[in-house]
Structure 1
Amino acid sequence: MSENSSQRWRGRYLNAAHLFVPVQLQQDAAMLARAENVVNAALMAATAGPLYALAYWLLGLRMAAVEVLACCVFMLMAPPVLRITGSIVAARELFLCALFFNFTWLTWYLGGIHAPTASWLITAPVVAMFLGGVASGIFWLAMSCAAAAAIWAMPVFGLPMPATPQVDMPLLHLICDLGLYVVVLVFVLLFELTKTEGFVKLEQAFSTINELAIRDELTGSHNRRHLMGLIDREKERSDRNARPFCLCLFDIDFFKRINDTYGHAAGDMVLRSFAHAVQGQIRGTDAFGRYGGEEFMLMLPETPAPDALVLAERVRKAIAALRCAGSAGNGAEITLTVSVGVAEYRLGEPVAQTIARADEALYAAKSLGRNRVQCHDDDEHLPVVPKVQEPKAGRRDALAKARGGLGRPLDGVQCDQLTGLLNRNLLRDRLRHAMDRANRNRRLVALLLLNINRFKEINDELGYEAGDALLAQAGAAVRGCLRDSDTVARWGGDEFIALLEDLSFESDAQVVAEKILDRFGLPLQVAGRECFVTLAVGVALYPAADCNLDALLKRADIAMRGAKGWGENNVQVYSGDTVQPQSERLALKNGLREALVQGQLFLEYQPQIDLLEKRVVGVEALLRWQHPVYGRIDPGRFIALAEETGMIVPIGDWALRTACLQNRAWREAGLPEIKTAVNLSARQLKEPGLAARVLAILAETGMPARCLDLEITEGMLIEDLAGNCALMNALRQAGVLVSIDDFGTGYSSLNYLSELPVDILKMDGLFVRRLGAAAGRGRSYAIAEAIVAMAHRLHMDVIAEAVETPEQLADLCAMGCDAAQGYLFARPLPPEQVAAMLARQAEESVPEVA
C-alpha cells in the first residue's frame, strides 16, 4: 500500500472515530488522545469478541459464547456513552468493567487458574494503562491480581467450582494464546495510529510557528526580526574572517501616493510584486527581507561596496521595468521606482551603525531625485557642501562632530550653514519617516525641543560672532549626547531638536534629556572665555492620540515653554494641557520608598475567564500608584525606576503578600476558590532565596500554593535558563503554578520552551488583536492556533491576553484556548468589585462580563 493510500485510510478511520468524541474534548490534544483510545478499544472488542464467541460455540461451550457476546455489547456501549455524557472516565470504566468481568468469568468457568483464559486477565490493566494512565492501570492490575488469587483459592478452601468442560483443551489453549497475541498487537497498533497522528499535528504546529516566525506575512520575504538575526550572524563571521559585507536599504518611491490613488489592496499587491522581483535578481546566499512598511533590506555576504552597487543597480532597473495592475477593472498600470542606500560594514562597528549609514545614503538618494542607488562612501555621487567662510574658531570641529562621522558631507539644502546640523526641512522629512516606523514597529519616538536660556544676553554681551560660535558648540554638544541612530537638527535661532527613535519607555526620553543637561553643566569656550549655558527642554512622544507631525512639533513647543517657566535646566513632558517638571523622574525615584510605607501603592485585579465553562477561574494582580502630587501614575513610568533603585524587591514582596491576603479574604467570605497571578520582575528573579521567600509568604498568609500563579516573561527566563529552571522547579514542587507571560514577543525559542517547567503559557495581545478579522481565518489565526496546539501538546494551559471583541473570543474558543482576559470581560477591578463578580457567579453560575 502506498504512503498516500495509507494516510488516506488512516484519516478516514480517525474521522470516523471522532464522530464519538464530543467537540469540547477535541479542543485538548491530551483529552482527544484518551478519547480516541476508548474508541480503539471498543473497535477491538467489536472485531475480536464475535470471533471468539464463534470459536467457543463450535467447541461446544455455548454458555461461554453467550457470555462473550453479552460482554461485547457492554464494551460497544462505551463510545455512545462517551458521546452522550462527554465523560472519558464513564466510558472507560464501562469498557474495563465488561472486559474484566469477561475474562474473570471465563477463567472460573473453564477450570480455574489453569484455564486457557487465565493469562487474559492481564488485558484489563494493560488496556487501562492506555486509556487512563498509570493510576488506572495500577487499579485494574490490583483487581486482576485479586481475581486470579480468588480463583486459585476457591478449590484450596473447598469452595465449589464448575465442572471442567469436556473439550479439546490443548486446542483451546492454542486459540486463546494466539488470540491474546493478536488482540494486544491490534490494540497497540491502533494506539500507535492515534499517537502518530498527534505527533504529525505537533510537527505541523512547530513547522507553522517556525515559518511564520521568519517570514513577513504579506510578502513572504524574511521579516525584520529574522533578517536582523542573519545580519548579526554575518557580522560575527565578518569579524572573524576580516571579510566585510554590504547592506542595501530599499524604499519604494511615492508608495503613499500609490495607496491613496489605487487603494491599500493595490499597495499590498505592489509590495508582493516588488519583493518577488528583487528575489529574482539576487543570489542564493543573499538575505532579503521587509524592514518595515515600504522599506526592504538586502544583506550581501562577503561583498564589497563596488559589487554591491552593481547588484543594487540591477535591482533598480528590474523594478523600473516592473508593471503592476491598478484598481480592478480600470485597466491602469502602476509603474514603480525605488531608491537604494548602500553601506559597507566596517569591521568592529555595531550593525546599527551600518544600518544608519545605509539610511543616510537612502536619504541622499531620495533628496537627489529618487530612482537611484547611492553608496554611503561614494563621495563622487553625493551632494557636496558649498565652501563657506569660517569666521568662528572651532567651527570645523563642531561641524565634524555634528555630522557624527557620517562619512560624507551634507549639501546646503540639507545642512544648517552655521552648525553643520540638519536643517528644519530635512528634519521634518526624517520625523515623518520616524513616525511611520513607530506606527509599524509599535515603539516610541521622542521629540526633544531644546532652547538656550537667555541667549539674547550672550549676544548682547559677547557679540553676534561669539553667539554663533556658542550655537555651533551647543549643537555639537547635543549631538555628542545621542546615539548614532538619533537625529539632531537646528530648528532656528537658539533652538535645537533631537529626534529619538525606537524607545521602549517614556522614561528613556527623560534619561536622554537629563544626560544633555548634565553635559551643559560644563562650560562652553566662547571668545576665549568660559560660558555657562542652561537649557529648557520640552519632550513630546509619539504615537499619541490625535497627533500628526505638526501637532507633535507643537506639543514639544508647549512643553518647552512650560519648562522655561519652571526655571533653568528644566525638562517637561507634554501631557494634555499641562506638562510635568523635569524633577518628576527624580521625585518618583525618591518617592517609591515613601509610597510603599504610606500606602500609596495598591493592587487591581483583572479577571481571567475559563472559555469552556464560562466562569472566572483566576485574576491577575496589577500594581498601581496613586501619587499625592502627580496623581495616578502609569506602571510603565515607575516600574523601570523601581528596577533601577532596587525598590522592586520590597515592592514585589508587598504585592505578593497583598495578593495572597486578598485571595484568602475572598475564600473566607465564602466565594469560589480562584487563582491569583502575580508578575515577577527581572530584579526579583536575580535575588537569592526567592523561592524560600515566596513559600514563606504563602505560609504567612495561609494561601494554598495551588492558588498562586507566578508570571515571568520570556526574556527574563532565557537570561539564566539553568538557574531559573531550578527556581521554577522548586516552586512547582511546592504546588505553585508558573506562567510564561507575553509569549511570542520575546525569544519564543522552541529549543528552550520544552525544557522549562511551566504550567501556563500566556498568549500576548499582539496575536489576539489580529484575530476576528472580517476577511476570515488567515495566517494570524494559523499562528495563534499553532501556539495553542503546541502548548497543549506540552501539557500547558493557554491564557489569551487583551481580548476586546466577540469575534476574537469566537476565534479563541474555536482553536481550543483555555482561558482569556481583557476588556471584553472586565477591566482591572478593585477587590470589592471582584468579590461582587464572584458572588454573582456563585449565585447564577454565569461569569460576569463587563
Structure 2
Amino acid sequence: MQNASSHWVSRYITAIHWFIPAEAQQHAAQLTRAQNVINAVLMAALSGPFYALAYYLLGFPVAAHEILTCCGFMFLAPFLLKFTRSIAIAREVFLCAVFFNFTWLTFNLGGVNAPTAGWLITAPVVAMFLGGVGTAVFWLSMSCLAVVAIYTLPLLGFPLPGHPVKDMDLLYLLCDLGLYLVIVVFVLLFELTKTQGFIKLEQALNVINELAIRDELTGSHNRRHLIDLIEQERARVQHNGANAFCICLLDIDHFKRINDTYGHAAGDVVLRSFALTVQKKIRETDCFGRYGGEEFLLMLPTTSLEDAMLFAERVRYTVERLLFPDVADGLRISVSIGVAQYRNGETIGQTVSRADEALYMAKSGGRNRVVNYGQSIDVARRIVDDSGATAGAPLLESGDTSQCDPLTGLLGRRVLRDRLAHAMARAVRNERMVGLMLLNVNKFKDINEALGFEAGDAVLVQIAAKVRACLRESDTVVRSGGDEFIVILEDLAQPGDAQQVAEKILDRFALPLAVGERESFVSLSVGIATFPAPGCDIDVLLKRADTAMGSAKRWGENSVQVYTSDEPLPPSERLVLKNHLREALANNQLILQYQPQIDLATKRIVGVEALVRWDHPQYGRIEPGRFIGLAEETGLIVPIGEWVLRTACQQNRAWREAGLPAVKTAVNLSARQLKHAELIERVLAVVADTGIEPACLELEITEGILVDSVETNRIGLQTLRDAGIKISIDDFGTGYSSLSYLAELPVDILKMDRSFVMRLGQDGESTRAHALAESIIHMAHRLQLIVIAEAVETAGQLADLAAMGCDFAQGYYFHRPLGHEQIAELLRQQREAAPARMVA
C-alpha cells in the first residue's frame, strides 16, 4: 500500500514538473514556490466547479458563472508559468482570481455576514505558500480592505445587492465545510511536495556517502574509508584485547606494461576484474579496497600471521589464473603481496609501512610472491605447493644481508635508487611528500688521522645508530659510502617536516661520542630536497639534496639547508623564520593578494579571497605554507589573522569609495583564531572600524575545525551571521565524515574542495567523479547554500561545473592571486556593466 502511494505521489510530482522552468527546478526555494502554484490550481480544480453547481442549484446562476470565470483565470496560471518562466506572474494571476471571486460573492450575498466572508482569508493564506511573507502581507491587506469596504458601503448609503438563495443555511454549511476542506487539501499537497524534496535530499546525501567510501573504478572501498575501518579495528584490539589483525598490501605486477601495451581502458578492465576476484575470496568481516593506482589493501581481522599468509597465497594463486578474453587472449597477470601483523601500540601508518616493506621485498625477489614483514628473500623464493601453502616461512629480524652495509648494518647504496623510486611513486599516488636527506660527517678525515681507522669505523657505527634512532620505522636510511648517509622520509605534509627531523638528528650530536677511552665531537652537514617538485626525477632529486648539503657545509658545522631554486636560506630556516616572523607585522613585511571569484552565470567578478604573503627583506617572497604553521605554533596567528582581516576590510571599503562595483571579500580563520575567546568581538569591531558593509565580508572556516565544538561555534557564528557577515565552509568534503553539522551550524556558502574539481572535464573519466561533484552542488542548493568551486584550471572543468549549476568558481583558469591595484583595474572594466551579483 505504501509503495503504491509513493508511486502515485512520484507520478504527481513528475506531472507538475512539466509546467516548471528548468532554472526554477535547480533552486529549492523557487521549486517549492512553483509547485505550490500548481497545487493551488489543483485545489481550485477540485472545489470550483462543485461550488458553481451548488450556487446554480440554490438559485444564484450568476454566481455560478462568476465562479467558473474565475476558475478559468486560475487555470491559466500553470501555463503562464510554463511559457513566461515567471513564478510571480503565474502567482499573481491566480491570487487576483481568488481575491476577486470571494470579494464578489461576499458583496453580492449581503456583506460581512455572507457565508463567503470567511473565504477572504484564503488569498493571504495561499499567498504565504506561493510567495512568502511579503506576498502574504499584501493580500492580507487587500482582504482586510475589502471587508472594511463591504462593511462601510451600507453605512454610507450604498446598499448591497444581497441576492437571496433557496436555502441560506445549506449555503453556510457548504461554505464552512468547503473552507476547511480546501485549506486541508492545499496543506496536504504542500506537504507532499515538501516531503518529496526531502526524499531527494536524502537520496543525494546517500549518493555522497556512498561515493565518499567507494573507489569509482573498482567499486571497492577507497583509501580513506579503508584507513577509517582499520582504525576502528585497531581501537577494538586495544580496548577489548581482541586478537590482532593483519594487513595485506597487494600490487599488480608490471601494470604499467599492461597500460602501455593494451591501453588504459584495458588497464581499467584488469583492475576491476582483480578487485572482483579478491572480493569473492574475502569474508564479510574483512575490509578490502583500492589503496592507489594498482595497489590494493586488505585487512583481515582476528587473523594470525600464518593464516594471513595462507590466505594471501590463495589469492595469488587465483589471480595468476585470471583470463581477460575481452582484452587479449594471451593476457595474464600476477600479484605481489606484502603481509604484516598489527603490533600493539603502533599506528596504522606504521603497520601499513611494514606491509609495504614486505611488498617491496616481494617485488625485489622476482614478483608474483607473498612475503611477510621480516621474511628473507631466500624464504620468499620458496616454491608454493598446489594447495597454496608456503613450505615454511620463518620470520627473520634482518632483511637480505647482501643488500646491507657490513659495517653499520644499514642498507647499502645498491638499494637506494629502487627504494627512492618506490617512495616517489607512492608520494604521487598518496598526494604526500618525500624528503631526501643527505648527511655528511664534517672533517671525518681528521678523525681517521687522529684516532685511527678503527676508531673512525666506531664513530660511523655510532652515527648510524643515532640517525636510525631519530627516524620512524617507515623511513629508510642508507650508508651511501664513506662518511655519507642518505635518509628517505616518506609521508610528509610539508618540507618543514623534513627539516624538523634533521634538527632532531643534529641535537643527538651535542655531546661527544665515546671512541675507546677518548671522546670526539662530531658535527654533520645536512642537505634536504623534496618531491614532488617541477622537473624532478630520481637523479635530479639526488642532485638537489647534494647541492643543499654543499650549501650547508658552507654555512658551517651542524647546519641544515633545504634545496631552493632561489638564494639559499640561512642555517635552520625554521628557527630563523620563527624569529623574523615576530618582526614581520611591525615592519610591514606582510602583504595581501586577492584571487577573484567568478559568477558562472554572468562571468563577472563577484568576490575575492584574501591571501597573505610575506615579503622578507633578505629572502624575498615567502609563501604561506612555510610560515603559517610557525605562526600557529607561536600564537602569532592571532595578531596576523586580525591584521589580514582589518587590511582586507579596509581594501574592500577603498574599492567601494573609488566607485568600483561591490564585491565580497573572503578571509580565512585559523583553528587558533576560532578558539580565541574574543574572536566574535574582534571581528565585529573590525567591521565597525573599517566601515565595510557586513554583507561584503565572508569568513572561511575549514570544516574539520568547524566541527570540533559544534555548539560553541554555532552560537558564535550565528552572532556574526546576524550582523550580516557571510559564513563559508572551506575545503568542503575532505575534513569530516558526517554531514549532520550542516543542519546545525549557520553557514551560507560551501567551497567545494579542489579534489572534487580536479577530475572534472577529462575525456574518458568515470562518471563517479562527476556524480559526486553534482551531488554536492544539488545538496547545497536544497539546503539553500551557495557553492563556490576552488582550483578551476581548465575549460572542461568550468563547463562541467556550469552544467551542474555551480554558482561561483575561482582558480588559475580565471586569475592567479593579484595585488589590490590589479583587482581594482579588473573591477573598473565592470563599472559600466550591471552590478555584480553578490552571494546572498
Query: In which range does the TM-score fall when normalised by the shorter chain?
Result: over 0.9
1:761-819 residue CA offsets vs partner (Å, 9 max, x unmatched): 10011111111222377111111111111112222111111112222222212222121
1:309-331 residue CA offsets vs partner (Å, 9 max, x unmatched): 2222211211112122474xxx4
1:656-685 residue CA offsets vs partner (Å, 9 max, x unmatched): 111111111111122222211100111211
Per the TM alignment, residue 57 of structure 1 is displaced from its structure 2 partner at its CA by 3.7
- Equivalent AA in structure 1 for residue 262 of structure 2: Y
State the partner residue of 1:32.
31
Q: What are the within-5 Å matches in structure 2 for residues 39-438 of structure 1?
A: 39-155=38-154, 159-243=158-242, 244-325=244-325, 327=327, 331-376=328-373, 382=379, 408-438=397-427
Per the TM alignment, residue 12 of structure 1 is displaced from its structure 2 partner at its CA by 4.7
Q: Distance in 1 between matches of 2:84 and 2:578?
A: 59
Contact 1:293-1:440 within 8 A present in 2 as well: yes
Contact 1:490-1:496 within 8 A present in 2 as well: yes
Of stretches 191-200 and 139-148 in structure 1, the one that deviates more from structure 2 is 139-148
Change (3 A) 1:444 1:325: farther
Secondary structure of residue in 2 paired with 1:114: coil
- Equivalent AA in structure 2 for residue 71 of structure 1: C
Secondary structure of residue in 2 paired with 1:829: coil
Equivalent in 732, 741, 745 of residue 734 of structure 2: 745
Q: Distance in 2 between matches of 1:721 and 1:468?
A: 59
- Equivalent AA in structure 2 for residue 816 of structure 1: G
- Equivalent AA in structure 2 for residue 299 of structure 1: M
State the partner residue of 1:717.
706
- 1:521 and 2:518 are equivalent in the alignment: no
- 1:635 and 2:624 are equivalent in the alignment: yes
State the partner residue of 1:398.
none
State the partner residue of 2:386.
none
Secondary structure of residue in 2 paired with 1:247: strand
Of stretches 406-415 and 668-677 in structure 1, the one that deviates more from structure 2 is 406-415
Of stretches 838-847 and 491-500 in structure 1, the one that deviates more from structure 2 is 838-847
Contact 1:262-1:326 within 8 A present in 2 as well: no
Q: Distance in 1 between matches of 2:361 and 2:794?
A: 45
Per the TM alignment, residue 359 of structure 1 is displaced from its structure 2 partner at its CA by 2.1
1:267-325 residue CA offsets vs partner (Å, 9 max, x unmatched): 22211111111111111111111122222111111112222222222112111121224
Q: Distance in 1 between matches of 2:732 and 2:606?
A: 20
Change (3 A) 1:362 1:832: same
Q: What are the within-5 Å matches in structure 2 for residues 13-24 of structure 1?
A: 13-24=12-23
Q: Distance in 2 between matches of 1:361 and 1:565?
A: 40
Contact 1:614-1:847 within 8 A present in 2 as well: no
State the partner residue of 1:606.
595
Contact 1:383-1:411 within 8 A present in 2 as well: no
- Equivalent AA in structure 2 for residue 284 of structure 1: E
Q: Distance in 1 between matches of 2:276 and 2:803?
A: 34
Equivalent in 624, 645, 666 of residue 656 of structure 1: 645
- Equivalent AA in structure 2 for residue 726 of structure 1: I
Q: Distance in 2 between matches of 1:533 and 1:799?
A: 55
Per the TM alignment, residue 356 of structure 1 is displaced from its structure 2 partner at its CA by 2.3
Change (3 A) 1:605 1:643: same
Of stretches 450-459 and 184-193 in structure 1, the one that deviates more from structure 2 is 184-193
Change (3 A) 1:624 1:261: same
Per the TM alignment, residue 196 of structure 1 is displaced from its structure 2 partner at its CA by 2.6
Q: Distance in 1 between matches of 2:723 and 2:835?
A: 32
- Equivalent AA in structure 2 for residue 678 of structure 1: V
Structure 1 ranges of 4+ moved more than 6 A: none
State the partner residue of 1:469.
458
- 1:585 and 2:584 are equivalent in the alignment: no
- 1:829 and 2:829 are equivalent in the alignment: no
State the partner residue of 1:570.
559
TM-score by length of 1: 0.92
Q: Distance in 2 between matches of 1:88 and 1:791?
A: 22
Contact 2:649-2:665 within 8 A present in 1 as well: yes
Q: Distance in 1 between matches of 2:664 and 2:778?
A: 23
State the partner residue of 1:392.
none
Contact 2:371-2:380 within 8 A present in 1 as well: no
Change (3 A) 1:425 1:56: farther
Q: Distance in 2 between matches of 1:9 and 1:585?
A: 67
Of stretches 734-743 and 516-525 in structure 1, the one that deviates more from structure 2 is 516-525
Secondary structure of residue in 2 paired with 1:619: strand
Per the TM alignment, residue 56 of structure 1 is displaced from its structure 2 partner at its CA by 3.0
Q: What percent of counterpart residues are identical?
A: 63
Per the TM alignment, residue 752 of structure 1 is displaced from its structure 2 partner at its CA by 2.4
Q: Distance in 1 between matches of 2:667 and 2:604?
A: 20
Q: Distance in 2 between matches of 1:790 and 1:564?
A: 57
Per the TM alignment, residue 16 of structure 1 is displaced from its structure 2 partner at its CA by 4.1
Contact 1:253-1:371 within 8 A present in 2 as well: yes
Per the TM alignment, residue 155 of structure 1 is displaced from its structure 2 partner at its CA by 4.2
Of stretches 118-127 and 204-213 in structure 1, the one that deviates more from structure 2 is 118-127
Of stretches 480-489 and 85-94 in structure 1, the one that deviates more from structure 2 is 85-94
Change (3 A) 1:292 1:49: same
Secondary structure of residue in 2 paired with 1:363: helix
TM-score by length of 2: 0.93
Per the TM alignment, residue 39 of structure 1 is displaced from its structure 2 partner at its CA by 2.4
Per the TM alignment, residue 846 of structure 1 is displaced from its structure 2 partner at its CA by 9.0
State the partner residue of 1:842.
831
1:16-42 residue CA offsets vs partner (Å, 9 max, x unmatched): 433433332222122212122122223
- Equivalent AA in structure 2 for residue 822 of structure 1: G
Of stretches 72-81 and 216-225 in structure 1, the one that deviates more from structure 2 is 72-81
Equivalent in 459, 471, 496 of residue 448 of structure 2: 459
Q: Distance in 1 between matches of 2:664 and 2:357?
A: 53
State the partner residue of 1:686.
675
The answer for unaligned runs of 5 or more in structure 2 is 382-394
Q: Distance in 2 between matches of 1:332 and 1:581?
A: 61
Change (3 A) 1:159 1:557: same
Of stretches 630-639 and 71-80 in structure 1, the one that deviates more from structure 2 is 71-80
Q: Distance in 2 between matches of 1:383 and 1:429?
A: 19
Contact 1:209-1:786 within 8 A present in 2 as well: yes
Secondary structure of residue in 2 paired with 1:750: coil
Contact 1:446-1:501 within 8 A present in 2 as well: yes
Q: Distance in 1 between matches of 2:668 and 2:407?
A: 52
State the partner residue of 1:533.
522
- Equivalent AA in structure 2 for residue 163 of structure 1: G
Q: Distance in 2 between matches of 1:745 and 1:2?
A: 38
Secondary structure of residue in 2 paired with 1:546: coil
Q: What are the within-5 Å matches in structure 2 for residues 790-805 of structure 1?
A: 790-805=779-794
Per the TM alignment, residue 627 of structure 1 is displaced from its structure 2 partner at its CA by 1.4
**How many residues get paired?**
823
Q: Distance in 2 between matches of 1:511 and 1:348?
A: 23
Per the TM alignment, residue 230 of structure 1 is displaced from its structure 2 partner at its CA by 0.9
State the partner residue of 1:439.
428
Per the TM alignment, residue 136 of structure 1 is displaced from its structure 2 partner at its CA by 3.5
Q: Distance in 2 between matches of 1:332 and 1:419?
A: 50
State the partner residue of 2:392.
none
Per the TM alignment, residue 73 of structure 1 is displaced from its structure 2 partner at its CA by 3.5
Q: Distance in 2 between matches of 1:744 and 1:231?
A: 21
Per the TM alignment, residue 13 of structure 1 is displaced from its structure 2 partner at its CA by 4.0
- Equivalent AA in structure 1 for residue 347 of structure 2: P
Contact 2:253-2:367 within 8 A present in 1 as well: yes
1:639-661 residue CA offsets vs partner (Å, 9 max, x unmatched): 11211222111111111111111
Q: Distance in 1 between matches of 2:517 and 2:405?
A: 24
Of stretches 556-565 and 695-704 in structure 1, the one that deviates more from structure 2 is 556-565
